[in-house]
Amino acid sequence: MTDRTAQVRAHLTEDLIPFWKSLRDDTRGGYVSLVGSDLTRDPLAERGCILNSRILWFFASAYGALGEESLLGEAAHAYEALLGMLDPVNGGMYWSVDAAGHPLDTTKHTYNQAFAVYALSTYARVTGERAPLDLAFRIFETIETRCRDAGGYLEAQSADWRPAGNDKLSENGVEAGRTMNTLLHVLEGYTALYEASGDPRVRERLREILDTWEEKVWNPEKRRQEVFFDPDWHTLIDLHSFGHDIETSWLADHTLEVLGDEALTARIRPKLLAMAEETLKLAWTAGNGFSAEMERGKVDTTRVWWVQAEALLGFLHAWGLTREARFLDAARDQWDYIREKVIDPRCGEWRWSLREDGTDTGKPFVEPWKCPYHNGRMCLEVLRLGAL
């Protein structure tokens, strides 16, 4: 184990896991879902399905990697909370509930459903329990019947599955009818479901999603993904999301590894590596992290927490495929930057974002989108790969 790998392991076991364990709410169930930049906790804050799904995924995955029984207990606690976010009448997952478990935001978003599939499939795989896998398949069927049309996967709908505005997954002044981000995380959720089940229906959907990605999302001229689309897949804005590109570069390649289709891999993998190369050129600065995005040619140099984690993983994965030193050097540099600048020594969790000069933007440590998923997954993947 290299020194940096040992540092990552220590960060996972001594910082991240204890921090998220400390948010367990045995009175109301689930986990405290709002921790401010001053570390003040609000136990009555909104409980989001995305955050809870990611907490379930984190503890289940950490248990699978480390085998510590207390992690299984945390995963079971998060699983029970997730069950309380199911709509018992119309099916699917609510966007959020209140601290007492009552429906709060009843939007049914495909992104939300996909993360529930991801978490439930992972929990089922590490425990061998049938009930979470059965539920994952119920939500898979819901996505396929309710969240999809002839053109691909839909975005937001109401509680009873009527079309709704997609403000939750739209940014940069547009409202998207389809998004790269939702497609990516349906891919991720279905990959976990396929790993847990080997179901041929899921395998076929994974192949279709990769075909859609190649035909609709991939921009070969700019060696990037397009981000926001109208319902007919026309791009809505000149936006290069560096974080999503470097995340996709390794996450979609994991799907290729799981599928084991040589022809598909030969077709898709060069495009994924091209994204890693492009972000290395445009977004990474040695010793100073990884920029967020570029809109209409203007770079947003904010150092966002999840983007730093995905950059490390994307570069490390690219090095594993190519053995090019530039990728390993960048991955190692990313860890050094994260360790020095991003991890807050007061609590061990990551600051949400930093300006290019290293000053904190003051956003919460925990809220519906801030979770142990990107940074926790980074740690677990580094340990799995054993090289940093």
Backbone Cα Rg of the chain: 19
**pLDDT over 90 (residue 60):** yes
Q: What is the DSSP string of 41-70?
A: B-TTS-EEHHHHHHHHHHHHHHHHHH--HH
Q: What is the pLDDT of residues 214-236, one digit of tens each?
A: 999 999 999 999 999 999 999 99
pLDDT at 39: 98
Region class of 323: left (phi > 0), else alpha (psi between -120 and 50), else beta: left
Which of 74, 72, 112 is closest to 94 using CA atoms? 112
Distances (CA, A) of 166 to 77, 102, 104, 111, 240: 31, 23, 17, 11, 20
Backbone angles phi, psi at 315, to 5 degrees: -70, -40
Which of 309, 343, 378, 349 is closest to 18 using CA atoms? 349
Q: What is the pLDDT of residues 241-281, one digit of tens each?
A: 999 999 999 999 999 999 999 999 999 999 999 999 999 99
Task: Give the residue extent of every domain in the chain.
Answer: 3-385
Q: What is the pLDDT of residues 131-185, one digit of tens each?
A: 999 999 999 999 999 999 999 999 999 999 999 999 999 999 999 999 999 999 9
**pLDDT over 90 (residue 63):** yes
In the block, which residue shows the tokens 């609000």?
42
Q: What is the pLDDT of residues 93-146, one digit of tens each?
A: 999 999 999 999 999 999 999 999 999 999 999 999 999 999 999 999 999 999
Distance CA 93, CA 110 (A): 9
Q: What number is the average pLDDT over the span 303-321?
A: 98
Give Cβ neighbours of residue 70 (< 8 Å, ≥ 6 apart): 21
**pLDDT over 90 (residue 1):** no
In the block, which residue shows the tokens 């599928």?
259
- Biggest CA pair distance of the chain: 54
Q: Is 356 helix (H, G, I), strand (E, B) or coil?
A: coil
The CATH T-level fold of domain 3-385 is Glycosyltransferase (1.50.10)
Q: What is the pLDDT of residues 318-350, one digit of tens each?
A: 999 999 999 999 999 999 999 999 999 999 999
Q: What number is the average pLDDT over the span 50-72?
A: 98
pLDDT at 158: 98
In the block, which residue shows the tokens 């991003």?
342
Q: Are 289 and 341 in contact (CB under 8 A)?
A: yes
Distances (CA, A) of 351 to 174, 272, 307, 343, 357: 27, 28, 12, 6, 14
Q: What is the pLDDT of residues 190-212, one digit of tens each?
A: 999 999 999 999 999 999 999 99
pLDDT bracket for residue 3 (50, 70, 90): very high
